[in-house]
Chain A
């Protein structure tokens, strides 16, 4: 159960797009459709932004989108806004009732 690999940081100016990668293996990201992305502001509960690779829960802006290719999932935030500045974590089902989170990416809005 190794953590999924994410870049430590990503940044963009307001209105720009940023894409965060999440690399796992065929035993987790590559093997299942159950990849999620959470936004986490310090001191608050994590918020589900994307589930099942590319689905958005109600209330999440369509500026947030997800995709997957092989063992790597990606989250794209388009039209960056100041409130998007947060930590983002991917997660994936890893079989045998196990789960794994990514290492986390701090997104900075310049």
Chain B
């Protein structure tokens, strides 16, 4: 079964850091680009960051550029999001998502259940 499981969320003070993880199983992780998408309370979906299968190309939303870093460890079938200088507006449910096809950056087809990040003093 194809599965994505996020972890690492929690309550953190403004200005601090947090690292999210996404464990992938049921498919050849090395062959797929991956994305992070978030949903703030009462708000819509917001794309956060994406990374190609070989980490060769990476993108960030303007709202997180310079503060968040996406990475992956294909040997561990894992995706990460290092979040620094966190702000209250980063409070959200963070999903990791996989595109529909191998070597494809587009069309997020498989989603995890998400991990909640709360930034508050």
Partner-B contacts on A (CB < 8 A): 1, 3, 34, 36, 38, 40, 45-48, 51-52, 57, 87, 89, 91, 93, 96-104
Contacts and interface: CB of A to CB of B under 8 A. Distances in A.
B1 to A, nearest CB: 14
A93 B111 contact: no
Contact of B45 (A34, A47, A89, A97): A89
19 contacts: A3-B44, A34-B107, A38-B108, A45-B95, A46-B45, A47-B111, A48-B107, A48-B108, A87-B44, A89-B44, A89-B45, A91-B45, A93-B105, A97-B59, A98-B50, A98-B60, A99-B47, A102-B44, A103-B44
Interface string B79-110: 00000000000000001010010000111110
Given A46-B37, A46-B45, 9 more contacts: A1-B63, A34-B107, A45-B111, A51-B106, A51-B107, A57-B100, A93-B106, A98-B50, A99-B50
Interface residues of B, number: 27
Given A45-B114, A99-B50, A34 B44 contact: no
Contacts of A97: 50, 52, 57-59, 105
Q: What are the nearest 7 A-B pairs in CB distance?
A: A97-B59, A104-B44, A45-B111, A51-B107, A34-B106, A99-B47, A98-B59
Interface of B: 35, 37, 44-47, 50, 52, 57-63, 95, 97, 100, 105-109, 111-114
B60 to A, nearest CB: 8
A46 B45 CA distance: 9
A28 to B, nearest CB: 11
Nearest to A55: B107
Contact of A40 (B45, B106, B109, B113): B45
